[in-house]
Amino acid sequence: MIPPDLPAALKASLEAKLEGLSRGDVAARAAAISRTYREGGTSGAIRSETDALAYALARMPATYAAATACLNALSEARPDFAPQTLLDAGAGPGTASWAAEQAFPSLASFTLLDANHALRALGLDLVRDSPRVREVSYKLGEARDALAKTDAADLVIASYLIGELGEAERRSLAEAMWEKTRDTLLVVEPGTPVGYARILALRAHLTAAGAHVAAPCPHERNCPLIPPDWCHFSQRLARSRAHKQIKSADVPFEDERFSYVALTRTPVARHFSRVPAQPVVGKAGISAKLCTTDGLAIAKVPRRDKQAYAQARHWRWGDTTMGKS
């Protein structure tokens, strides 16, 4: 599994761009952009080179960590998947492309799409420091219009994109992305009830059109979770010195919450139960909520069952149980 931290070359490039800039000014812009992000969008708030850098420094580590966790889950579900072409819709500074490049050494072609001039310029500048993602096609334009002029790809990713769109546009974009997907589509959203609802709607729309769920669900039926519960996951990432300065944070780590779905053209050979919440370890044993092929279940593993207990001790929020559902 690939680690959730930014690749060293990318981290160094981002931090080098801070040289000569007022970190206070960059931090202020990052805070304003983060407020916009929490309200459901980002690209409209990013208008300059400094804005793009502030956004990348504040958000790129977390979105990279989330994309990495999703790609790890996809690789676990489909260990033989070796995409050669990538289409990154709403690519921003290229975060998901960097994560995919790390996850799949087979990738040889990278096409990025975004409507934001400043993010595109930063993204192209950053990939020059990548060992492999140097020759990329980065098209400028709104996602659905740009998709219409783009070739299909083995792997299509939309990371933190659909939340910026209205419902009708989200459905149209989902159809357009699926049309350009030769094999697998990965969509990642913030791990909020609203982000989860967007993922559910896209999942339902595309499975009705013939898509198959690879992850995180071990089934293709309706989600068994009952509100106010919702399906989301968490990825912890270390904060660099620059990251802490830009976010005015003292804590050396950050937890990124996200929801996602990976959809494929062909059914996954086998599904494993997934752990949709952190297991509870007590004196008598471990209690864990599991999403299985049969629905939601509560697994109670007693300490006296040493073999099963040893296995359950390794379960973490978002993991599979590595046993057939």
Residue 324 is predicted with a pLDDT of 39
Fold identical between 8-264 and 272-324? no
The token pair at 50 is 């400094």
Work out the pLDDT band at 134, boundaries 50, 70, 90. Answer: low
Work out the pLDDT band at 105, boundaries 50, 70, 90. Answer: very high
Residue located via tokens 């959809």: 263
Q: Whole-angstrom Cα distance, residue 81 to residue 94?
A: 22
Please give the C-alpha separations between residue 224 and each of 173, 198, 199, 227, 271, in angstroms, as whole numbers.
26, 16, 14, 10, 16
Residue 185 is predicted with a pLDDT of 98
Residue 21 is predicted with a pLDDT of 80
Average pLDDT over residues 308-314: 93
Residue 40 is predicted with a pLDDT of 56
How many C-beta neighbours within 10 Å does residue 308 have? 16
- At 59, which amino acid appears? R
Q: Whole-angstrom Cα distance, residue 207 to residue 203?
A: 6
CATH number for region 8-264: 3.40.50.150
Residue-range domain boundaries for the chain: 8-264, 272-324
Q: Whole-angstrom Cα distance, residue 324 to residue 30?
A: 44
Residue located via tokens 């989301």: 232
Q: What is the pTM of this model?
A: 0.94
How many C-beta neighbours within 10 Å does residue 168 have? 8
Average pLDDT over residues 33-56: 77
Residue 325 is predicted with a pLDDT of 39
The token pair at 285 is 């044993």
Chain segment 215-265, per-residue pLDDT in tens: 999 999 999 999 999 999 999 998 887 777 777 778 888 999 999 999 999
> DSSP letter string over 186-240?
EEEEESSHHHHHHHHHHHHHHHHTT-EEEES-SSSS-----TT----EEEEEEPP
Residue 264 is predicted with a pLDDT of 98
Residue 39 has pLDDT above 70, yes or no: no
90: nearest Cα among 61, 71, 63: 63
Looking at domain 272-324, its CATH architecture is: Beta Barrel (2.40)
Is residue 216 reached through a cis peptide bond, with omega within 30 degrees of 0 on the bond before it? Answer: yes
Residue 127 is predicted with a pLDDT of 85
The token pair at 84 is 């050669």
> DSSP letter string over 80-118?
T---SEEEEET-TTTHHHHHHHHH-TT--EEEEEES-HH
- At 117, which amino acid appears? H
The three-state secondary structure class of 260 is: strand
